[in-house]
Amino acid sequence: MKPNDLPQFDTAALRAKDAAHHLHPFTDTKSLNAAGSRVIVRGEGVRIWDSEGNEIIDGMSGLWCVNLGYGRQDLVDAATHQMQTLPFYNAFFKTTTAPATELAALLPQVAPPGFNHVFFTNSGSEGNDTIIRLVRRYWDLMGQPQRKTIISRHNAYHGSTLGGASLGGMSGMHEQGDLPLPGITHIDQPYQLQHGKPGESAHDFGLRAASWLEAKILEVGADKVAAFIGEPVQGAGGVIIPPASYWPEIQRICDKYGLLLISDEVICGFGRLGHWFGCQHPHINSKPDLITFAKGVTSGYLPLGGVLVGDRVAKVLIEQGGDFNHGFTYSGHPTCCAVAIANVSALRNEGVVERVATDTAPYLKAQFATLADHPLVGDVDSLGMVAGLVLYKDNASRTLFDADLGVGYLCRDHCFKNGVVMRAVEERMIIAPPLVMTHAEIDEMIRRIRRSLDDTLAGLRAQGLV
């Protein structure tokens, strides 16, 4: 699309209003206001445009969510039709709506075996809050109310509500507000660059990282631990792909002590790893009892999240249950559910998930790996449609830049300037592009990333920093 075809926006006026009134998530408002927000005005396919007419390949699918890409008329039509018919009704008080029920029946068709029930929320954070309450309710009903502790991992991301942030392992979030809440504790993440020993194989590191779960269970007391939660691949933590030995060992330990296993699939769900859910990928291969989802369930077109409840928990909840005193006004919002049905149907009918596994993800892996010859780059890795690399000051000795330099953020800014969205997480640069990316679009994205790495290197050299 030519810039002239874009709707006209007064960028300066929008920036001024934004600075005056809008508090952005996870943002230092003072420094943002000094720089001014970038205003995104349009999306089509894998591309977005800003208000100044710049075209940008969206290497992050919005925020890991626009799995089908932008501009899907079928999703727009689903929302329009539902809003014209019944924009909203709730699922409290013995009522439902057709889209909520149809989606609840559709999700088990794409979920791993043994998942036949769903509880709807608006977001991933609310999904994980729901999980905390479901897990406690389950163990109460099982006559083991002392099983309260949920074990998670440092540098995990499970959301921004009090519960979600507590389950997450982001120290910057815990510091603001006395988190985690009681009953939530953390082990180290399976990130070999941080925790590996010299000469240790990835396989051995994976087993050792999983053994930290057993050590924590024994420390807390096996009869007090309710569940373990983890993302199949840590997303916001920097696309940390665990060794293949990690999840099966985590599964074995959960089984040994009877813990519920929770797979937070807010990013990995709905095809991101080339399987409907990340736990089904052979590299992960876990059998969770509860699955959190959000984002890709609607490709981000409307907010929707929830919990897939496996038979082990659902059976107890339903047969011994009584009221589960939990829910949201918009649990099962019919318009959001209608869009989710259209989205899941499109993913299925167009064979998107299978294409990711057999074609798009292997192509992305091969092309992303070509960046490894860049002087700044090491530890290039991907799984499905998530990928990450490490920016090194000296690749040969694996020396990282001083964290205060914020090299990742410099690189991210060059990426924007060169027309590609790439995210910086400390020493890591990461992508999670739309699942519908073509080979030509992947090639173009990699060219723009390489140009941005070159610009980053040139800038660092000019300042004598490399």
What is the contact surface with ligand PMP in residues (CB under 6 A)?
A: 123-125, 128, 157-159, 164, 231, 235-236, 264, 266-267, 294, 305
Phi-psi region of 330 (alpha: psi -120 to 50; beta: other; left: phi over 0): alpha
What's the start-to-end Cα distance of the chain, in Å? 39
Smallest gap from residue 303 Cβ to ligand PMP (A) = 7
Residues of 9-37 as b/e, b for ≥16 C-beta within 10 angstroms? eebeebbeebbeeeeeeeeeeeebbeeeb
Tell me the residue nearest to ligand PMP as measured from the CB: 124
Minimum CB distance to ligand PMP smaller for 335 or for 452: 335
Smallest gap from residue 168 Cβ to ligand PMP (A) = 8
Smallest gap from residue 264 Cβ to ligand PMP (A) = 4
Separation of alpha carbons 466 and 444, rounded Å: 27
Closest by CA position to 388, among listed 424, 439, 442: 424
Minimum CB distance to ligand PMP smaller for 260 or for 410: 260
* Pairing of the two strands 115-121 and 47-50: unpaired
Separation of alpha carbons 268 and 386, rounded Å: 9
Q: Could you tell me the sign of the dihedral formed by the alpha carbons of 361, 123, 105, 290, in that order?
A: positive
Minimum CB distance to ligand PMP smaller for 164 or for 419: 164
Cα distances (Å, whole numbers) of residue 384 to 244, 381, 394, 443: 14, 10, 28, 16
Closest by CA position to 194, among listed 246, 244, 152, 154: 154
At position 322, the amino acid (one-letter code) is G
The gap from C-alpha 422 to its chain's centroid, in whole angstroms, comes to 15
DSSP letter assigned to residue 70: B
Minimum CB distance to ligand PMP smaller for 132 or for 460: 132
Backbone angles phi, psi at 15, to 5 degrees: -60, -40
DSSP 225-265: EEEEEE-SSBSTTT-B---TTHHHHHHHHHHHHT-EEEEE-
Minimum CB distance to ligand PMP smaller for 305 or for 419: 305
Separation of alpha carbons 255 and 381, rounded Å: 30
Q: Could you tell me the sign of the dihedral formed by the alpha carbons of 264, 269, 431, 195, in that order?
A: positive
* Pairing of the two strands 47-50 and 40-44: antiparallel
Smallest gap from residue 150 Cβ to ligand PMP (A) = 14
Minimum CB distance to ligand PMP smaller for 159 or for 433: 159
Minimum CB distance to ligand PMP smaller for 106 or for 233: 233
Smallest gap from residue 51 Cβ to ligand PMP (A) = 25
Separation of alpha carbons 61 and 56, rounded Å: 11
Tokens 């194989």 found at: 201
Residue 357: exposure state from Cβ atoms within 10 A (0-12, 13-18, ≥19): middle
Minimum CB distance to ligand PMP smaller for 269 or for 274: 269
Smallest gap from residue 164 Cβ to ligand PMP (A) = 6
Smallest gap from residue 156 Cβ to ligand PMP (A) = 8
Smallest gap from residue 201 Cβ to ligand PMP (A) = 28
Closest by CA position to 466, among listed 408, 373, 399, 412: 399
Show Cβ contacts of residue 143 under 8 Å, excluding neighbours closer than 6 positions. Answer: none
Smallest gap from residue 392 Cβ to ligand PMP (A) = 26
Smallest gap from residue 227 Cβ to ligand PMP (A) = 15
Smallest gap from residue 457 Cβ to ligand PMP (A) = 30
Smallest gap from residue 109 Cβ to ligand PMP (A) = 23
